[in-house]
Structure 1
Amino acid sequence: MHVAMSNGKPNEDISADMFTAGVSVTTRIYMGVEANDSLFKARASFLDFNLGVGIGTGTGIKDESFDFKVVGCGFQIGRKVSISVFGSTVGVDFGRLFG
């Protein structure tokens, strides 16, 4: 299920997804493997929130930020600042805040 509201400004967009799953393999500047199930994923203005279970491992530059993750636990710092614990994540996107 996906719900979204927007008035055209990136720092005022709201979107939410419920009951999603995904698997990805990424190479280039960021190298990683990820599998996750999300109970609830939301993006409101410059805030990001994901409640779920994930086992991702990778490191590199992603979304203009340094990202490091081992077995779903890690951090991202740069344009995006976030912390992940076993696939659940909370973070801030400064690109949407000041963009």
Structure 2
Amino acid sequence: MRAARLCERHPLKGADAVHLEGALFLKGLYPDTALLTFDRTLYRAAKKEGLTVVRVPPWKGRADPKASLPQADRGARVHPHLHGPHPWGDGHPALPR
């Protein structure tokens, strides 16, 4: 399992290693995939693994979460199959169309 190997290379918790492995898998399918994270350790590990990573600072109140992202990162594709056309359908059925 690649997630276990990621834990050997980086000081990641199990869930973070699984998220990183998923992002690396998606990058293989969709090269413009980016990982957004609040976690500094996951951010550093993802950068070392060659992913495009956006460190999202926490926001307070009802502020627009996109307002805290740099302009270039507002359109980053995190999970392409959830946010648009996909080879097997038109996005995730739980998301509004």
Q: Same fold (TM over 0.5)?
A: no
The higher radius of gyration belongs to 2
Greater fraction of residues in helix: 2
User: How does the TM-score come out when normalised to structure 1?
Assistant: 0.23
User: How does the TM-score come out when normalised to structure 2?
Assistant: 0.23
